[in-house]
Amino acid sequence: MRLAIADDESVYRKQVSDLIISLYGRENVSCYLYSDGTELIRSFENNFPLDAVFLDIEMKDLDGMSTAKKIREFNKEIPIIFLTSHTELAMDGYEVDAFRFLGKPVDEIKLRQTLTDLEKKLKVDEKIVLVKDGEELVYSISDLLYLEAANNSVRFIFTVDTVEVRMKFNEAVKKVEDITSDFTKIHRSYFISLAHIRKLSAGEALMDNGDELPVARSASQDAKKRLFEYIRRSGR
């Protein structure tokens, strides 16, 4: 994740950044620190890629709420987490569709929960682009149930659609893995979403659309382990 932290007090910028890095590790998250709202807005003007913004409400010069309104001119969707020692200001956050409010100094447990919820939101919003007959089709990765090998093609089974694309199965698997790690291979012809499994047994996976898929004996143990880890991690 690429996170912006904007606060005119360096001690709070560093506190939030250090907590996030301690929870995720430097290899999994990058924190970009800003001392004021104007500096942060400049990043949006330059199309600097960010996944979410932690924003102090009570900054000097350009305050957090004004900064958020300007951010929304560039990006309507990016999650904004407000940092404030005055919770009565939280109501104003609805004007800019705030994702969350955290009190200052930031509590580690509440920050951890916010980051968990943020991860879920970002995964839900991630897209997969398929090219069929020269046309680009865009779907939410959260709507993809499974991949099925079909001769020289791959069927992408979504909650409301099925798209068959001419490509190798291992290329399709790599395409999904580049977006999310929440899929597992259960058979040489099936790569399935852990989020959409209703029931997993030694020889069969029941998906939440009712499809019953074969589970190879060689893949059964690893699939069960990955499903258990996913449930524990996601709180499903």
pLDDT digits (tens, 9 = 90+) for 12-69: 999 999 999 998 888 778 999 999 999 999 999 998 989 999 999 888 888 888 999 9
More confident residue, 98 or 43: 43
Rounded distance between C-alpha atoms, residue 89 and residue 167, angstroms: 52
> For the whole model, what pTM was predicted?
0.58
pLDDT at residue 236 above 60?
Answer: no
Q: Which domains does the chain have, with CATH numbers?
A: 2-124 (3.40.50.2300), 126-234 (2.40.50.1020)
Give the pLDDT score at 84. Answer: 84
Q: Does residue 204 sit in helix, strand or coil?
A: strand
Say what percent of the chain tops pLDDT 90.
61
**How far apart, in whole angstroms, are the C-alpha atoms of residue 24 and residue 196?**
26
pLDDT of residue 86: 66
Extract the tokens encoding 58. Answer: 């009570």
**Burial status of residue 234 (CB atoms within 10 A of its CB: 0-12, 13-18, 19 or more):** middle
Point out the least confidently predicted range of 3-17, 55-69, 117-131, 178-192. 117-131
Judge whether 39 and 63 are in contact, CB under 8 Å.
no
Percent of the chain with pLDDT over 70: 94
More confident residue, 24 or 194: 194
Q: What is the rounded average pLDDT for all residues in the chain? A: 89
**Predicted local distance difference test score (pLDDT) of residue 88:** 56
Sign of CA dihedral 126, 138, 97, 46: positive
In the three-class reduction of DSSP (H, G, I as helix; E, B as strand; rest coil), residue 133 is classed as: coil
Judged against a pLDDT cut of 90, whether residue 104 lies above it is answered with no
Q: What is the reported pLDDT for 89? A: 55
Residue 233, pLDDT score: 64
Report residue 87's pLDDT band, with 50, 70 and 90 as the boundaries: low
